[in-house]
A and B are shown apart, each in its own frame.
Chain A
Amino acid sequence: MSTPLLEIDGLRTVFRTSSGDVPAVDGVSLTVRRGQTLGVVGESGCGKSVLSLSIMRLVAHPGRIAAGRVLLEGRDLAALSAAQMRAVRGRDIAMIFQEPMTSLNPVHSVGFQITEGLAAHEPGLSRAELRDRGIEALRRVRIPSPERRLEEYPHQLSGGMRQRVMIAMALAGSPKLLIADEPTTALDVTVQAQILDLLRELQAQMGMAIILITHDLGVVAEMADEVAVMYAGKVVERTDARRLFDDPQHPYTLGLLGSIPRLDEERENLLAITGSVPPPFALPPGCRFAPRCPFAIPACDAAQPPLLEVEPGHGAACIRAPIEESLAA
């Protein structure tokens, strides 16, 4: 295959605090192929949102990208000027957010917000053309009577509608990569399914790749081709979606899977991962999951395990991998 669409190599994003630089994303390497969906899973605070902002170069002060490269079709985004980066945002990479209630500006009409990016990226468009493109974008996300919706304001729309508008806004510039940061977390379950279906349909239509950031393994199972599991700023396991569920290798992934209620097995209690995520300013010296890991051995505290392939296309950052399923019981 040709060069991947997006290649992240050793990305490290730190936040400056009074007690020194604290890493939120620590040496993450990932690739996203054209037209595919990469699911990034992890619990709150594992750095998955900071990862998405780092790709867009939108990490706000006091955070900054300290090391690593983000290559979009071989072009290093970190080396671009601010103006060049603006041209990338919205046209090559777009983003949708978790909270549809606050991600639309209450003082502007839906049409204004959808066409604003287009107007900036393609200055030649006339007002009528912009309007047509706006209607087209709303139609694409299956919003009924788009001509009327274009004139409406965000407070007149429901949560699901707003998320559709957000998607329309992000896709108006036909990006090659869409970063969806917990796109369905704030929505009702039925609306969640609709939005995921819509995303899948649009992906098939427009051929964009998606980075789907979520804490919901169900969403990953439904949407993702490849999955990266993040824990405390690092990728701990990375493989394709089927293998992640069939043959998880990292104890953290095992723990996550064990905490999902299942219909096809009888279990008294759900497994829970004991303890909580270490704060990024007090990380253990060795494996960051070791203090919570049921399989930990003294060697785990010695050094951070690198992400190694346990089999082709399946990486796990655990010195005890491959862990046999029998151990988990």
Chain B
Amino acid sequence: MAAPVKPSVLRMLGRDLGGALSLGMVVLIVLAAILAPWLSPRDPYETDLLAIMQPPSAEYWLGTDGQGRDILARMLFGLRVTLLMGLASLLAGGVLGALIGFCAAFYRRADGLLMRFMDILLSFPAILFGLALAAIFGPGEVSVVIALSIATVPLMARIVRGSALVVMGLDYIEAARAIGMSDGRLIWRHLAPNCLSAIFVFSTLRLGQVILLGSALSFLGLGAQPPLAELGAMAAQGRNFLFIAPHISVIPSLGIFVIVLAFNLLGDALRDALDPRLRI
């Protein structure tokens, strides 16, 4: 059932066109973000008032924005902020959610209480958390990350609980208990590794959603503040020039679209690759 995971999963991904394509896109996106300072043709914050709202050209590949800043440079640096906000909130919310999910599956007595609490969290939209946190801490990346973390916790908790409950029903958990393993060790060494595929798949899908939500919050002015380059904020700044210079808004929006699409496709492909029922 569960063969050593790494080589076969990559092979499964490679076999499926969507998987290979999305993996390639994700790798390119991450590389672009990491290499932004070397790839970028200019400083993303350098304004040139003689070259505002330039359409894409040989000199400015993606044109310039309302203050004459190079959109390509801002896209590359914005990618970093957008991805980091997404990753940070996925990591924080995912780890906390996974812990809660493991505890709910492992300590059945706590299950009802923990999951009802998760249901309560689930009933608030992420945007609402963002608004509330921006009101408390002021708008900024930190508020966005906290809001998205909180919104991710209950989703991850549910996914992990479901997958952990299946594992808890298997004899090897009982067998490990019967040789005197402590609860912590049971969860960490026996339960968690067997839930990893579900966690991976969900994380990949969720990263796309979180990036979209983060950009939306920035677009609403609750997240990244000017002049910081961030895809959602850039799309928001171009809003005023939508009829004169649409590329200022459209290009970052397309960027968000491509990122989210890549992560969603990768998540779908991962799910197919890790699903034991589909494995031959």
Residues of A that sit less than 8 Å from B by CB = 56, 58, 60-62, 86-91, 94-99, 102-108, 113, 116-117, 120-121, 153, 155, 166, 169-170, 172-173
Given contacts A61-B108, A153-B4, contact A99 B171 (CB under 8 A): yes
Provide the B169-195 mask, 1 if CB < 8 A to any CB of A, else 0: 011101111111110010001100110
| B-side interface residues, number (CB < 8 Å) | 23
- Cβ-defined contact, B179 with A106, below 8 A: no
- Cβ-defined contact, A169 with B180, below 8 A: no
- A58 contacts which of B2, B178, B189 (Cβ < 8 Å)? B178
Within 8 Å CB of B174, what residues of A? 58, 97, 103
Within 8 Å CB of A86, what residues of B? 180-182
B17 sits at the interface (CB 8 A): no
Within 8 Å CB of B189, what residues of A? 108, 116
Provide the B148-159 mask, 1 if CB < 8 A to any CB of A, else 0: 000000000000
Within 8 Å CB of B182, what residues of A? 86, 120
Q: Which of A62, A91, A117, A121 has the most CB of B within 10 A?
A: A117
- B194 contacts which of A61, A107, A120 (Cβ < 8 Å)? A107
Closest to A87 in B: B180
Within 8 Å CB of B193, what residues of A? 105, 107-108
- A121 contacts which of B109, B170, B177, B180 (Cβ < 8 Å)? B180
| Alpha-carbon distance A106/B2, docked complex (angstroms) | 6
Given contacts A86-B182, A105-B190, A153-B4, contact A97 B177 (CB under 8 A): no
Closest to B181 in A: A120
- Cβ-defined contact, B179 with A90, below 8 A: yes
- Cβ-defined contact, A94 with B172, below 8 A: no
B1 sits at the interface (CB 8 A): yes
Within 8 Å CB of B58, what residues of A? none
| Alpha-carbon distance A58/B181, docked complex (angstroms) | 12
Closest to A114 in B: B179
Within 8 Å CB of B172, what residues of A? 102-106
| Alpha-carbon distance A262/B243, docked complex (angstroms) | 94
B3 sits at the interface (CB 8 A): yes
- Cβ-defined contact, B171 with A106, below 8 A: no
Given contacts A60-B108, A95-B175, contact A102 B180 (CB under 8 A): no
Given contacts A88-B180, A108-B189, A120-B181, contact A169 B2 (CB under 8 A): no
Q: Which 9 residue pairs are nearest across A and B when measured between Cβ atoms?
A: A117-B179, A90-B179, A103-B171, A90-B180, A89-B180, A95-B178, A106-B2, A105-B172, A107-B193
Q: How far is the CB of B167 from chain A (nearest CB, A)?
A: 9
- Cβ-defined contact, A94 with B170, below 8 A: no
| Alpha-carbon distance A61/B240, docked complex (angstroms) | 61
